[in-house]
Amino acid sequence: MLTSFKRTNEGEQNTNMIYSTVMARRPDSGTKEEIWTRGDLKEIMRNLSLLSEHGVREFYERAYRECRIVNSHTFPPARAVQELVQAWKQLRKWRRP
């Protein structure tokens, strides 16, 4: 009984290896994606805190448009997502009682 389990397990491993060689890979663009550093994010947050609520909402809407996924080939840059999160955090701070 133990040998039949071993054979079944080996067959499963072989099947998994076959599937893993045909899996889709993310295309390598050749360039490293730029992201904001912690210091940059603190500066963005500080600048957002100096703006009016209307200004932060405009910043948020612009970042939201940049983060929109139109189809499977377009994906938002990390910086745009980071900016969206910073604006969301600032709006959230002002919303708290």
pLDDT tens for 52-71 read: 999 999 999 999 999 998 88
Q: Is 1 within the bounds of a domain?
A: no
Q: Is 13 within the bounds of a domain?
A: no
Angle between helices 78-95 and 53-66 (to 10 degrees): 150
pLDDT at site 62: 96
pLDDT at site 74: 83
- The answer, as to whether pTM is greater than 0.85, is no
Count structural domains, the chain. Answer: 1
Q: Is 39 within the bounds of a domain?
A: yes
Q: Three-class SS of residue 27? A: coil
Q: Is 45 within the bounds of a domain?
A: yes
Q: Which residues of the chain have pLDDT under 70?
A: 1-30, 97
Q: What is the distance between the alpha carbons of residues 73 and 11, in angstroms, rounded to a whole number?
A: 36
Q: Is 24 within the bounds of a domain?
A: no
Q: Is 22 within the bounds of a domain?
A: no
Q: Which domain holds residue 61?
A: 34-97
Backbone angles phi, psi at 63, to 5 degrees: -65, -35
Of the candidates 86, 65, 88, 61, the one whose C-alpha atom is nearest the C-alpha of residue 77 is 65
Q: Is 54 within the bounds of a domain?
A: yes
pLDDT at site 91: 95
